[in-house]
C-alpha cells in the first residue's frame, strides 16, 4: 500500500472590535458573515440527499482492464495533480469556472461539484490509490493557512499525500520549511492565478529549499487556458537556469506550448510533465497536441506523470486515463510499460510513496 501521512488550524478570529475595522476578506468574508453563494447552495442540496444517493462512478470495463493489466498487482493510479481546498476557497474557484463562457468563450461545467467526502469517495470508486491534493495561494498571507489546512486534510484522508504552497512574500522560506518538516511531499505554484513572477527574488529561498529537499513542485506556468502577465515556458526556464536541480512538474504539459515544455524536460534532469487535461477532447479544442506526441514522449521515458485537475474538470475522470492509454498504444516504444510509469511508478516515486518500490498483494484495497 502507498504510505501516506497537521499543523495549526486556520488562525482564530480576531476580537469583534478589531474585526469591524479589518477589511473584508475577498475569499472568506468577515468572521460570522454569511455570504450567499449559488454554488454553496447546490452543495448543501447534495449534502441533504440520502447516503444511498451518493455519486458512484467506475471506469469503463475495457479501460479498467487495461489499467489493471499495466499496473502492479492490487495497485491503482497515483494522481499527482488534483485539488482539494477549504470550502470557501473552492466555492470561489467554482464560481470562476461558472463564468467560463465570458472568460474563455466556452462553458466549463464542473463535473464533480460535490461535497468533500463524496469527492474522496469518487476517487476511491475509480481505483485511485493515492493523490496529491494541491492547494495554491493567490495573495499574500494565505499560503501558511492553506498549508495547515491541507496537512489536516491529508492526515484525515486515506490516500491523500500532504502538500504545500508558497507565495513571493517575506517569511516564505520559514513557513515552507515548516510544511516540509510536517511531511509535505509536493508543492504547488500557480503563476497564472496568482499573477506572480516566478523569477521574483523573494521566491529564490523557496526554490532552493525545494531543490535541496528533492520535493517536486507542480508549476502552472503555461499560457493556457489564458495568458497571464508572467506565464510562458520561457519565463519559467529562467527559474530553472538559476535552480537547475529543481524537481519541477510542468502542469498541463505546458499547454499550449507542449514542445517548449518538452524542451525543458530535455534540458533539465529533474523536469517532468503532468498529463492534466492533456489529450482530452476538451483540451484538444483549446490547444491540440502535436500529431507526433506519442513519439515525442517515447524520447523522454519516465518523465511524464498522471495529473487530472479533479474535481474541476468538465468531463469524466476516465477521459484522462483513456488519453494516456491512447498514447501508450500509438507508439510501439511505449506500451504497458509507459502506461504503468505514467499512472503509477513515476508519480509514486516523486511523492516518496512506499508503493513505488513495494508491490501490494493482489486483491488488496487500492486505498490505504
pLDDT tens for 10-50 read: 333 333 333 233 333 333 344 444 434 443 444 445 444 44
User: What was the pLDDT predicted at 354?
Assistant: 83
C-alpha 219/C-alpha 202 separation (Å) is 16
**CATH architecture for residues 16-356:** Alpha-Beta Barrel (3.20)
CB 248 within 8 A of CB 222: no
Cell digits of residue 120: 474522496
Distance CA 272, CA 261 (A): 9
Q: What is the pLDDT of residue 357?
A: 60
At 123-147, the pLDDT tens digits run: 999 999 999 999 999 999 999 999 9
Please compute the mean of the pLDDT values over residues 116-120 and round it to a whole number. 98
Quote the pLDDT of residue 73. 87
Taking 50 as the threshold, does the pLDDT of residue 6 lie above it? Answer: no
Arithmetic mean of pLDDT, 152-156: 98
Across the strands, what pairs with 250? 219, 273
Q: Is residue 343 within 8 Å of residue 67, measured between CB atoms?
A: yes
> pLDDT value at position 1?
54
Determine the length of the chain: 368
Q: Which residue has the higher pLDDT, 85 or 72?
A: 85
Global pTM reads 0.84
What is the helix (H) or strand (E) element at residue 100, kind and residue range? helix 100-104
Hunting for cell 464533480 — which residue is that?
A: 112
Beta bridge partners, 274, equal 305
For the segment 183-237, what is each residue's pLDDT rounded down to a tens digit? 999 999 999 888 999 999 999 999 999 999 999 999 999 999 989 899 999 999 9
Q: What is the predicted pLDDT for the residue at 2?
A: 65
Distance between CA atoms of residues 101 and 290, nearest Å: 26
| Environment class of 9 (CB within 10 Å of its CB; exposed 0-12, middle 13-18, buried 19+) | exposed
Local confidence band at 116 (pLDDT 50, 70, 90 cut-offs): very high
- Extended strands (E) in 191-242: 217-220
Amino acid at each position: 500500500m502507498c504510505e501516506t501521512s497537521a499543523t495549526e488550524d486556520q488562525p482564530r478570529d480576531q476580537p469583534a472590535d478589531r474585526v469591524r475595522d479589518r477589511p473584508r476578506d475577498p475569499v472568506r468574508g468577515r468572521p460570522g458573515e454569511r455570504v450567499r453563494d449559488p454554488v454553496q447552495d447546490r452543495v448543501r442540496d447534495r449534502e441533504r440527499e440520502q447516503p444511498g444517493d451518493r455519486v458512484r462512478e467506475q471506469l469503463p470495463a475495457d479501460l479498467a482492464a487495461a489499467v489493471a493489466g499495466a499496473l502492479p498487482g492490487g495497485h491503482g493510479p497515483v494522481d499527482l495533480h488534483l485539488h482539494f481546498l477549504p470550502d470557501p476557497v473552492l466555492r470561489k474557484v467554482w464560481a470562476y469556472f461558472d463564468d467560463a463562457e465570458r472568460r474563455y468563450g466556452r462553458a466549463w461545467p464542473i463535473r464533480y461539484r460535490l461535497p468533500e467526502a463524496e469527492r474522496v469517495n469518487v476517487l476511491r470508486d475509480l481505483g485511485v490509490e493515492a493523490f496529491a491534493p494541491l492547494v495554491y495561494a493567490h495573495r499574500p498571507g494565505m499560503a501558511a493557512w492553506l498549508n495547515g489546512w491541507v496537512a489536516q486534510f491529508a492526515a484525515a484522508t486515506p490516500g491523500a499525500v500532504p502538500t504545500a504552497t508558497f507565495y513571493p512574500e517575506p517569511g516564505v522560506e520559514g513557513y515552507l520549511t515548516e510544511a516540509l518538516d510536517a511531511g509535505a511531499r509536493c508543492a504547488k505554484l500557480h503563476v497564472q492565478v496568482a499573477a506572480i513572477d516566478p523569477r521574483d527574488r523573494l521566491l529564490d529561498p523557496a526554490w532552493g529549499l525545494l531543490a535541496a529537499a528533492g520535493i517536486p513542485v507542480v508549476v502552472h506556468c503555461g499560457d493556457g487556458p489564458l495568458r497571464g502577465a508572467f506565464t510562458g515556458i520561457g519565463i519559467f526556464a529562467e527559474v530553472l537556469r538559476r535552480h537547475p536541480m529543481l524537481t519541477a512538474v510542468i502542469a498541463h504539459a505546458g499547454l499550449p506550448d507542449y514542445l517548449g515544455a518538452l524542451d525543458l524536460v530535455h534540458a533539465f534532469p529533474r523536469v517532468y510533465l503532468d498529463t492534466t487535461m492533456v489529450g482530452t477532447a476538451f483540451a484538444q479544442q483549446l490547444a491540440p497536441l502535436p500529431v507526433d506526441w506519442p513519439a515525442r514522449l517515447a524520447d523522454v521515458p519516465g518523465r511524464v506523470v498522471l495529473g487530472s485537475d479533479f474535481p474541476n474538470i468538465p468531463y469524466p475522470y476516465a477521459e484522462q486515463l483513456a488519453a494516456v492509454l491512447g498514447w501508450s498504444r500509438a507508439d510501439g516504444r511505449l506500451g504497458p510499460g509507459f502506461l504503468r510509469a505514467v499512472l503509477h511508478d513515476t508519480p509514486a516515486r516523486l511523492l516518496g510513496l512506499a508503493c513505488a518500490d513495494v508491490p501490494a498483494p493482489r486483491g488488496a484495497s487500492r486505498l490505504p
